[in-house]
Amino acid sequence: MATTAPAAHRCSYEDYEATADWLRSQTEQRPKVAIICGSGLGGLAALLDNRVVIPYKDIPNFPQTTVEGHQGQLVFGTLEGQQCVCMQGRFHTYEGYDVYQVTYPVRVFSLLGVRTLVVTNAAGGLNSSFSVGDIMLIKDHINMPGLVGNNPLCGPNDDRFGVRFPCMSDAYDRDLLALAQQTAEGQGIGAFVHQGVYCMVGGPTFESIAEGRALRTMGADAVGMSTALEVVVARHCGLRVLGFSLITNMVVTDYDSTLKANHAEVLDTTLMRTQDLQGLVRGILAQMPVDPEDL
């Protein structure tokens, strides 16, 4: 049977602008911080004051969420004096979206005036010193889809967003990372907050034992199915990035183990740590200068 590859949803500058203009027409809020909530972590949006909620289904050009634990709405509001927009639900390539759709909101946020992107995700722990419920501050990533050519910056470069060959050795802002670490220690949760390398894989399968072992050998501390693509696009358009992984399960790397990764466990663990993660984000925002130059 002949098959046709689906067309890539590569968007024009005007598409992103149309979405940003439409959002501006719906709210007078002008966020400087965008927060992408990972699986089960959408509760962060409930912390915002003066909330304006806009379902994805109403937003021109926006994809729709299809995964349990991802609500599918943008929430504008203020947190600790910072004007924020929260994505309550993100998009993943395993849902059938391409890399341009998954990262579409990031460029829209940049056009809205956002300067800082906070990414959160649920991830499987690979580092044997991690435990379920730990928080990993992301210090670097391995963009597995990008490494094999599935990068959201593939295609003609639009210089209005950024340069053709962006640097990724500074993807996760070192000053924000230090602020996050200090804040965690100040809040007395330093014992379960670590720094590490996040590896993005395509999913939706959890790792085989051999894959888990291979990823660990490559230098990954945690593995998940999101984040790196969003971060690549954010860095391309000059946003500074802070990232958190909640270690919701340990990746099985032992043939004698009877553990089996599953999405229900992922969501259960997010419930267990939701207060700590929210407190940490709140504490960081309270101390974070609005202008990146002031850090």
Q: What residue ranges bind ligand LQZ7MJT6 (CB under 6 A)?
A: 38-39, 67, 90, 92, 121-122, 203, 224-226, 263, 266
Of 178 and 214, which CB lies nearer to ligand GUN in the complex structure?
214
Of 53 and 267, which CB lies nearer to ligand GUN in the complex structure?
267
Q: Which of 24, 11, 243 is nearest to 114 (CA)?
A: 24
The catalytic position among 180, 200, 222, 225 is 225
- Residue 119 CA to chain centroid, in angstroms? 3
The one of ligand LQZ7MJT6, ligand GUN, none whose footprint includes residue 223, by CB under 5 to 8 A per kind, is ligand GUN
The C-alpha angle 49, 181, 88, rounded to 5 degrees, equals 35
Of 92 and 107, which CB lies nearer to ligand GUN in the complex structure?
92
**Which range touches ligand GUN (CB under 6 A), out of 17-25, 40-48, 201-209, 270-278?**
201-209
The one of ligand GUN, ligand LQZ7MJT6, none whose footprint includes residue 65, by CB under 5 to 8 A per kind, is none
Q: Does 261 bind ligand GUN (CB under 6 A)?
A: yes
Catalogue the long-range contacts made by 51-58 (C-beta closer than 8 Å, 24 or more residues apart): 51/75, 51/76, 51/77, 52/26, 52/27, 52/76, 52/77, 54/23, 54/26, 54/27, 56/89
Helix, strand counts (H, E) of the chain: 8, 9
Q: What's the min distance (Å) between Cβ of 140 and ligand GUN?
A: 17
Q: Using an 8 Å Cβ cutoff, are 164 and 156 in contact?
A: no
The catalytic position among 45, 226, 234, 236 is 226
Write each residue from 209 to 228 as x if it is in contact with ligand GUN (CB under 6 A), else as -, in one continuous string. --------------xxx---
CA distance linking residue 16 with residue 36, whole number of Å: 18
Residue 243 pairs with which residues in a beta bridge?
Answer: 119
Tell me if residue 39 is catalytic.
yes
Tokens of 114: 């956002």
Tell me if residue 225 is catalytic.
yes
* HSE toward the beta carbon, residue 115, CA cutoff 13 A: 13
Q: Footprint of ligand GUN on this chain (CB under 6 A)?
A: 122-124, 201, 203, 206-207, 223-225, 248-249, 251, 261, 266
Which residues are known catalytic residues? Answer: 39, 70, 92, 94-95, 122, 225-226, 249, 263
